[in-house]
């Protein structure tokens, strides 16, 4: 079956259909990864986007249960040069085509993805329509113009309920703005007691979970569409150690008075060089984002730039100068991509332990007594015991 991809500038690509049938509108972006297409498909940060893979052969090693980064894919379309229908890999359990059909995702192959990528690099990401229907170009344009790009991606991909991955070490509250499974895996490897909460969880609700630290996850869309996240961070900053990843990094910056802006075509792939300004070392990182923290807006805040992108010099890492809080724009959990930056999870745990040394908690009995005294309206005479029953 024939499939068509129409861009908002009028460019039309005609190729072969695979996956589901119908129509899908989304923001057309590209990913430069050579492998890892299943992790790309299942990354919630791609919600609302039609993803173009620049590597020409996709589907050749199939799909396996173990490589999912979320419970289901959230992308709005998949664009490849060559779709391999018969995968060859001992881990493969089913095909790429089967996965897309299962979740109603359209795919298109046999188009010039190099031309499409060059167009996006030159003109920036743009809205597109992927369709398998037998429609004229004018009809496709009408369908494209009728639908707006979504702004509620975070609420679509975030968990609706609190759940935990129990551990015996530090309790980490992971605020799910579209968290990849790799974040939980990395924390669990370090013995952390991980509690995952919805994106709109308030500061008081997090306090009641008695966390040792808070991790702000990755997620899709514009960080300014998540104002409740900014408020929550402001309320808890300085009270608990905080670590932000990707969208969490941008929300952390906004909460500290910095600003964010949209990149021309974003950073998506597993080969982005990032420089640690303190050590001078360069790390190869996995990235997936279309927004960045504005460099000039950081001036005058209490934020310190710790990492920059070696390609375009955009900000890749921040640290708070007074509070135990830091963030990175890239993915230290990788999946897909190199594991060069997994040490950041160790740094987060070290920061938590140092914070607890500097801010020792009062004994639990003292806290309970203080809470009782604050809430008890009756005054007990000095030296007199107060009993619940006589």
**Which residues are part of the catalytic machinery?**
246, 331, 333
290 is in an annotated binding site: yes
Q: What pLDDT score does 384 carry? A: 52
Q: Is 49 annotated as a binding residue?
A: no
Q: CA 199, CA 211: separation in Å to the nearest integer? A: 16
Please answer whether residues 195 and 171 qualify as being in contact, where contact means their C-beta atoms are separated by less than 8 angstroms.
yes
- The predicted-structure confidence for 247-257, as pLDDT tens digits, reads as follows 999 999 999 99
Instruction: Check the annotation: does 375 bind a ligand.
Output: no
Alpha-carbon radius of gyration of the chain? 24
Exposed/middle/buried for residue 45 (C-beta within 10 Å: 0-12, 13-18, 19+): buried
Distances in Å between the Cα of 42 and the Cα atoms of 31, 65, 74, 149 are 14, 11, 7, 20
Question: Is 288 annotated as contributing to ligand binding?
Answer: yes
**Strand order from edge to edge, sheet including 242-245:** 163-165, 193-197, 171-175, 213-216, 242-245, 325-328, 315-320, 303-309, 260-276, 282-293
For the record, the structure tokens of 389 come out as 């029953």
pTM over 0.85: yes
Domains of the chain, each with CATH number or no CATH? 2-149 (3.50.30.20), 154-358 (3.40.50.880)
Those residues with Cβ within 8 angstroms of residue 359's Cβ, 6 or more apart along the chain or in another chain = none
Helices (H), 67-214: 96-102, 113-123, 137-146, 153-157, 181-189, 203-207
**147 and 48 Cβ atoms separated by less than 8 Å:** no
Mean pLDDT, the chain, whole residue set? 94
pLDDT in tens, 267-325: 999 999 999 999 999 999 999 999 999 999 999 999 999 999 999 999 999 999 999 99
DSSP secondary structure string for all residues of 187-236? HHHTT-EEEEE-TT--HHHHHTT--SEEEE---SS-GGG-HHHHHHHHHH
Map tokens 């391999």 to a residue: 84
């Amino acid at each position: 079956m024939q499939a068509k991809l129409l861009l908002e500038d009028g460019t039309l690509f005609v190729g072969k259909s695979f996956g589901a049938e119908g129509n899908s509108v989304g923001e057309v972006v590209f990913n430069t990864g050579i492998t890892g297409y299943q992790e790309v498909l299942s990354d919630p940060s791609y919600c609302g986007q039609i993803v173009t893979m620049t590597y020409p052969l996709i589907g050749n090693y199939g799909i396996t249960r173990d490589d999912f980064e979320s419970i289901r894919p959230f992308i709005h379309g998949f664009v490849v040069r060559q779709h391999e229908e018969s995968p060859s890999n001992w881990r493969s359990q089913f095909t790429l085509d089967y996965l897309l059909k299962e979740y109603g995702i359209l795919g298109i192959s046999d188009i010039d993805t190099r031309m499409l990528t060059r167009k996006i690099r030159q003109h920036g990401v743009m809205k597109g329509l992927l369709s398998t229907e037998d429609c004229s170009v004018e009809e496709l344009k009408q369908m494209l113009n009728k639908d707006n790009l979504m702004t509620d991606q975070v609420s679509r991909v975030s968990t609706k309920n609190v759940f935990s991955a129990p551990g015996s070490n530090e309790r980490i509250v992971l605020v799910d703005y579209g968290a990849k499974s790799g974040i939980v895996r990395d924390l669990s490897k370090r013995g952390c007691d991980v509690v995952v909460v919805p994106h709109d969880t308030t500061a008081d609700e997090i306090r009641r979970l008695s966390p040792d630290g808070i991790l702000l996850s990755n997620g899709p869309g514009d960080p300014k569409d998540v104002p409740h996240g900014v408020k929550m961070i402001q309320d808890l900053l300085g009270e608990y150690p905080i670590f932000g990843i990707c969208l969490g990094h941008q929300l952390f910056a906004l909460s500290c008075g910095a600003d964010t802006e949209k990149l021309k075509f974003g950073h998506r792939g597993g080969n982005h060089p990032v420089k640690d300004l303190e050590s001078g070392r360069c790390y190869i990182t996995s990235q997936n984002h279309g927004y960045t923290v504005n460099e000039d807006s950081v001036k005058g805040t209490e934020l310190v730039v710790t990492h920059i992108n070696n390609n375009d010099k955009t900000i890749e890492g921040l640290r708070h100068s007074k509070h135990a809080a830091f963030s990175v724009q890239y993915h230290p959990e990788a999946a897909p991509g190199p594991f060069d930056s997994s040490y950041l999870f160790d740094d987060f745990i070290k920061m938590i332990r140092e914070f607890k040394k500097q801010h020792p908690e009062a004994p639990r009995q003292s806290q309970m007594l203080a809470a009782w005294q604050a809430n008890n309206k009756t005054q007990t005479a000095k030296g007199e015991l107060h009993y619940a029953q006589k």
